[in-house]
Structure 1
Amino acid sequence: MWHVETGVAALVVAVGLGVAAVLLGPDGLRWWLVALAVVVCTTVAVVVPRWRYRVHRWEVSADAVYTQRGWWAQERRIAPMSRVQTVDLAQGPLARLFGLTTVTVTTASAAGPLRIEGLDRPVALALADELTRKADLVEGDAT
């Protein structure tokens, strides 16, 4: 899914740069600009999803939810079960096409929710159930 998302974005950028090069660039430089746009966008479309996959991690223990995500700016988050307020599932059209789901764990934190992307739907459903059960076992009101 990340390959398709990044590929579509890179294609849009490559077409835009190509059109700009054809309309604005001098004749000799024009095709070099088009070629450079295609090479850069193709490289991004291949490298970024693999890089994201290598960084993207999550784990649930009895006490907390751990996430790590990002490709350029990487983020690690830990949310104690006592801070979990809601667990939501979401599927965009592309994710639905691939049978993937995003789990969003809303916490009592100013940093915002934790997101676990790209889970197979059955895994996401089981994770949401597990997080809900574990959060219910913890004393307190998650504030």
Structure 2
Amino acid sequence: MTLVDPANPPSRKAPMVWALAAAIPWAVLSVAQVAWLVFDASRGWWHALAAVVTVFGIVTFVVVAPLWRYRVHRWDVCIDVPTPAVFTRTGWLVQERRIAPISRVQTVDTHRGPLDRIFGLANVTVTTASSAGAVRIVALDVDVADRIVAQLTDVAAIGDRDAT
């Protein structure tokens, strides 16, 4: 199988969705810290330490991580090669590269969470006959996701072997 560096990035809206998803728990934590300060103002150093850790976490997970993930995340569906496959590269601290031969595809699904629906995004999950689990292509525009699902379903149906 030829190794291909995946060329397609997620939607340009992906960093915003990832940032908002990360911001929700940090906002809850910030509200809890303010409540803690209001009800117990006697622990000044602990409040300051908690605030520093929270600000560091917000900067890391709400600002840096989504931008870094966008630079790393890539996907590709190569059909016109000797061994057709789905390629993905994901992660930000720990990066993972997955290759799923089309001949091993069992199902192709889409998933849209609440933020995905608001921003018009979808995630494609390609389940294969592999113990390593499914290959996920995340944060795609809905029309791109629909096209990939149709393409993979058509190509997998043409295959001469069962993926089990």
Give 1:13 deviation, angstroms: 3.2
CA distance, structure 2, for counterparts of residue 138 and residue 87 of structure 1 = 15
Matched, 1:76 2:97: yes
Please give the per-residue CA displacement for 1:83-116, whole angstroms capped at 9, x wherever unaligned: 0011001111111011100101000001111111
Secondary structure of the 2:163 match is: coil
**Runs of at least 5 residues in structure 1 that lack an aligned partner in the other structure:** none
Query: Whose helix proportion is higher, 1 or 2?
Result: 1
Contact 1:55 1:68 in 2 (8 A): yes
Contact 1:68 1:74 in 2 (8 A): yes
CA distance, structure 1, for counterparts of residue 106 and residue 115 of structure 2 = 28
Q: TM-score, normalised by structure 2?
A: 0.78
Aligned partner of 1:35 in structure 2 is 51
Secondary structure of the 1:50 match is: helix
Give 1:27 deviation, angstroms: 3.6
Give 1:70 deviation, angstroms: 1.5
Matched, 1:61 2:82: no
Contact 1:84 1:142 in 2 (8 A): yes
Q: How many residues align?
A: 143
**Percent of matched pairs sharing the same residue:** 47
Matched, 1:50 2:71: no
- The letter of the residue matching 2:154 is R
**Runs of at least 5 residues in structure 2 that lack an aligned partner in the other structure:** 1-16
Matched, 1:136 2:152: no
Deviates most, 17-26 or 33-42: 17-26
Please give the per-residue CA displacement for 1:107-130, whole angstroms capped at 9, x wherever unaligned: 000111111111111110001001
Q: TM-score, normalised by structure 1?
A: 0.88
Contact 1:13 1:41 in 2 (8 A): no
CA distance, structure 2, for counterparts of residue 34 and residue 22 of structure 1 = 14
> Which structure would you say has the larger RCO, counting Cα contacts within 8 Å and 6 or more residues apart?
2
